[in-house]
Structure 1
Amino acid sequence: MFSQLKRLGADSLLYAFMNVGTKLIAFILLPVYTYYMTVPEYGMLGFIDRIVAMLTFVVIFGTDSALAYYYFEHKDKETREKYVRSVMTFRLSIVVLLFIIFFIGGDWLSTLLLDSNGYSHLFYIAFGTLFLDTIITLVLTILRYEFKTKRVVFTTIAKMLLIALVSIVFLIYIWTSLEGVLIARLLSVAVIILLIIKPAMTYLRPIFDWQILKKILIYATPLVPASLAFWLILNANFFFLKEYATFTEVGIYETAIKFATFITLLTSGIQLAWRPFSMSMKDKETSPELFAKLYAAILIAGSIGVLLLATIMPLVILVLAEPYQIAYPYVAPIAIATFINFYYMIVSTGIFFSKQTKHISIAFGIAAVVSIALCFVFVPMFAIWGAVISYVASYCVALFLVFRKSQKLYYVPFSGFVMGWTIFWLIAATGSIVYIQVNDLNSWLIAGIWIAFIVLVLLSRIDKYFIKRK
């Protein structure tokens, strides 16, 4: 067990370093955006990114989880390569199909999505980046499965750094516009392709093996509704804000979302290492007890990260141009949803071990309905706060549905009550800190919130998971 934990820890540290690097690069890039782009322009850029994110889910089509399962199920190199090439062929085919659709309906889709028919070319540039990024993502996935962690970390940081540098040069000296940012991204990923050209050429050879593709799609298809539900939960509030407010509110909300993702400095390294680690441990007798300890440890770490972000946010937001600084109260509440979006992957081991992935789709389908319903109610009334409420609530619904089903399929001795209790008081503590800050109350009250949160969480006896049993 120690050797497996050592591997998880080492890989998690490297991935954490990678994500710290990429998030810091993004953090440096965000102020540049705010000083050279207006809030509505930044809102439109974020809106385009949301649309591309949805299309990315369609491109992946659940094949990431399917590939993880079959890659570790087969030991011979040739069979593994066939599975990877099949997934690559499938994904790139979807990208090309989507590009044709947007090319034919460019002006109409531009008017529908961006309220003007003069922006269709922005989607064409974005599709070029999506095509190249699809190749990079799959190659890095396989390198991660092969535990070539250092190469994954180097390539990912190089990609983000290059995008940041080229974007800064374009915005300041060459092309201060949305087009400049999107072209900078396209050029950057094109260069990164050269760093992984050898494995990329291996997997880029098209293959149409129906038997392999059928296995992948049978495993993956139940996850597709979940992917679409993910997108709805993450992005429905953007569409509601656009309809009931303006691209200015969208820009402020996008700014808060960007800052909220800094909670992934604590979580994303584990997220990247978790799937290969958990799949390699699924048949070991001691795994359930080990998973319970990890469930508890990750929950505590994520909660502390959210509260820390809430505490320091009024100071951190000062790095942005003044029109963007009003985003700070929304950051920590959004970070709760960001953490839960990661945490569900940790507590869903039973679903993936048993290949019952349809339950992910069911859970997030229900959560997506909840999200849209809450957006209808709260966004017209409270604008950005309404979007935040729907975002956090829908992810909470999805988490508890996934956890409940996963426990039935593969029992881990971890209490759902402890998880719910901790998340409830995390939401309450975060809201209290933000309330104190917004209303300029005595800052020492925040220390009291921290103490109260720690005491209340300890009342659930979460510490028992770290006590060695005799």
Structure 2
Amino acid sequence: MAERVRELIKNTGIFAIGSLSTKVLSLLMVPLYTTVLSTADYGTVDVIGTFTGLLAPVITLSVYDAVFRWALDDQADASRSFSNALVIWLTSTLLFSAVCLFLHTLNTPHIGYFWVMVVTGSLGAICSNLVRGIGYVKLFTIAGIVSSVSFMSLNLVFLLQLHLGLTGYLLASAISALVSLVIVTTGAKISRYWDAGLVHPKHMRQLLLYTMPLIPNALSWWGVASANRLVLLSFAGVAANGLYAVANKLPSLINLIYGAFLQSWQMSAVKTFDDQDSGAYYTRTFDVVMRLQLVAVMALMALTQPVLANWVAPDYFTSWQAVPGLLLTVVYTNMSAMVGATYLAAKRTKGLFLTTMYGAVISIGLSLVTVPHLGIIGASLASCLGFAAVLGIRLHETRQFVTINVAWGVVIKYHVVILLQLAIMCMIPVCAIQTICLLLLTVGIVSTDWPFYQGLIATLTNKR
């Protein structure tokens, strides 16, 4: 198990470099966006980004997941899956292009930028997953960093110097996506994995049998994560959606490391799935990641109001009300994705779709009830409960092929402390006393669990 842990940590570290760079640069740009863009413009940006992410699995038919899974097996499988995936992507892209041309004739705003973002994003997903699957982890990371720097630099030019506003933001996003695609394809010499002789309906069918459940899964996942934003638009307007987008920035800090970990974990989960002690390995990893994320939630709760008071324009300060729910949403999302990797390893992707669909129904249903009365708070609450449902269902269903034993007593204890922090945030105005009280609760919970953290530190430093 020690060797697997070291490989997991090594890959996580490499992915983390790219993830940290990307997220930090994104967060540094938020003051610029909230100053230059109105809440309505920022809400529009968020909506376009949401639909771009929604259409990527539809345009690619989620074949990038199959490319990654088969690339982990051997190079022959990598070439076969990549070649057939490109043909599938090209066919669906032509259909999508025809739809965009029709929308262009109707004078749909920003449709050209939207087309570029979707097409480059979907092709980039296929190429990036091939690169990650064949072991080009560093190249994958470099492409992400360069793309982020390009995006930031272009925004500085387009927003501050050329004053292009929303159009400038979208143009910067489209160009940076192209930059990432060029780096990945040239750096890994992806053309050598293209083999027209391997393209065959039988191979395409094999990929699609694996990925077809992943398409409705991605749509349902979008339903859990993003449909509440459409409900916000309907009941509270574009400005509320802008507040909600800002509220999501602090919770995204948790993903600075977790996003890197998940990419590494997906590789590790596949490689260790057939090992006799895979259940113990999955359980230990789940326990560590869950505790660390909940501690991160507590620390960010202490910083939420002070940071927003000094970080964004005054009109955006009320967005803090949605942050606690969104922090827990991120944790449940991440843990659901972690458990979901076992479905991919077992090649039982149907379970991913069904569990996510249940969560989508719960999240959308709750949004329709809570948003009209609670606004962004209701949206965050609905999203939180939707992802919690997905996690619970997946933990139960994956027992069919791997058992993950959750330390429920510890999980409940951590959640009680988070609720106490929320009560303090509501009762004590933003000040040093509030921050100190919240941080003391965080330190206290870590102290009660110190033997666990001490053992974790010893493991990571190879002292045990």
1:10 to 1:408, Cα distance in 2 relative to 1, 3 A:
same
Which position in structure 2 is the counterpart of 1:112? none
Among 162, 176, 180, the alignment partner of 2:168 is 180
Task: Give per-residue Cα distances to partners, 1:246-288, cap 9 Å, x unaligned.
Answer: 1111111011113321110131111110111111111222322
Over residues 85-116 of structure 1, what are the superposed CA-to-partner deviations in whole Å (9 max), with x where a residue is unaligned?
222332343333223223313576xxxxxxxx
Partner residue of 2:112? 124
- Structure 2 match to 1:61: 61
Per the alignment, residue 462 of structure 2 pairs with: none
Task: Work out whether residues 302 and 439 of structure 2, in 8 Å CA contact, stay in contact via their aligned partners in 1.
Answer: no
Which residue of structure 1 lines up, in the alignment, with residue 43 of structure 2? Answer: 43
What are the within-5 Å matches in structure 2 for residues 242-261 of structure 1? 242-261=233-252
Cα distance change of structure 1 residues 153 and 439 upon mapping to structure 2, 3 Å threshold: closer
Structure 2 residue aligned with 1:351: 343
Deviations 1:115-156 (A, max 9, x none): xxx6x2412212112222323332222222222222111111
1:68 positional shift: 3.2
2:63–2:126 CA contact under 8 A, matched in 1: no
Give 1:8-407 correspondences, 5 Å limit: 8-73=8-73, 75=74, 77-106=75-104, 120-198=108-186, 199-202=189-192, 208-317=199-308, 318-407=310-399
Deviations 1:186-212 (A, max 9, x none): 223333333234334445777742111
* Residue segments in structure 1 that go unaligned for 5+ positions in a row: 109-117
Distance 2:242 2:299 in 1: 24
Asked if structure 2 preserves the Cα contact closer than 8 Å seen for 1:143 and 1:152, the reply is yes
Distance 1:419 1:218, change over 3 A: farther
Question: Which residue of structure 2 aligns with residue 445 of structure 1?
Answer: 437
Amino acid across the alignment from 1:168: L
Secondary structure of the corresponding residue to residue 253 of structure 1: helix
How far is 1:182 from its partner?
A: 1.0
1:258 alignment partner, SS class: coil
What amino acid maps onto 1:380 in structure 2? P
Read off the aligned partner of 1:4 and give its amino acid letter: R
Distance 2:92 2:214 in 1: 16
**What SS is found at the alignment partner of 2:347?**
coil
Contact conserved, 2:370 with 2:379, CA < 8 A, in 1? Answer: yes
Say if 1:257 and 1:334, in contact at 8 Å, map to a contact too: yes
Residue by residue over 1:158-209, the C-alpha shift from the partner in whole angstroms, topping out at 9 and shown as x without a partner, is: 0011011101210111242211111122223333333234334445777742
More off after superposition, 90-99 vs 430-439: 430-439
2:127 maps to a residue whose letter is: V
Q: What is the alpha-carbon distance in structure 2 between the residues aligned to residue 423 and residue 248 of structure 1?
A: 34
Percent identity over the alignment?
A: 16
Aligned-partner Cα distance in 1 for 2:423–2:89: 45
Matches of 1:122 and 1:80, distance apart in 2: 36
Q: 1:13 to 1:197 in 2, by over 3 A?
A: closer
TM superposition score normalised by structure 2: 0.89
Matched residues in 1 for 2:76 and 2:50: separation? 37
Cα distance per residue 1:292-332 (max 9 Å; x no partner): 11111000111111111111122322222222232233224
Q: Which residue identity does 1:26 align to in structure 2?
A: S
Quick one: which amino acid aligns to residue 319 of structure 2? A
Instruction: Work out the CA distance in 2 between the residues paired with 1:451 and 1:197.
Output: 46
Measured in 1, the distance between the counterparts of 2:367 and 2:339 equals 27
Q: Aligned equivalents of 1:351 and 1:464: distance in 2? A: 32
Alpha-carbon separation, structure 1, partners of 2:33 and 2:416: 35
- 2:39 touches 2:239 (CA, 8 Å); kept in 1? yes
The 2-side partners of 1:398 and 1:19 are apart by 25
Superposed CA deviations along residues 366-424 of structure 1, whole A, max 9, x for unmatched, are 11111111111100011111101101000000110011101222223x23635753674
**Residue identity opposite 1:83 in structure 2:** S
Compute the TM-score of the two structures, normalised by the length of structure 1: 0.88
RMSD of aligned Cα (Å): 2.8
Kept after mapping to 2: 8 A contact 1:303/1:426: no
Check 1:232–1:4 CA distance in 2 against 1; reply closer, same or farther (3 A cut).
same
1:192–1:354 Cα change, 3 Å: closer
Task: Supply the distance in 1 between the matched residues of 2:439 and 2:77 (Cα, whole angstroms).
Answer: 56
Structure 2 unmatched ranges of 5 or more? 460-464
Q: Which residue number in structure 2 is paired with residue 7 of structure 1? A: 7
Kept in 2, the 8 Å contact 1:241–1:250? The answer is yes
When residues 391 and 326 of structure 1 are mapped into structure 2, their CA distance, relative to the original with a 3 A threshold, is same
Q: Secondary structure at the match of 2:178?
A: helix
Greater shift in the superposed pair: 142-151 or 31-40: 142-151
SS of the aligned residue for 1:228 comes to helix
CA distance in 1, matches of 2:365, 2:115: 31
Separation in 2, partners of 1:192, 1:464: 40
Give the CA deviation at 1:454: 4.8
* Residue type at the aligned position of 1:166: L
1:438, CA displacement in angstroms? Answer: 5.2
Distance 2:62 2:301 in 1: 34
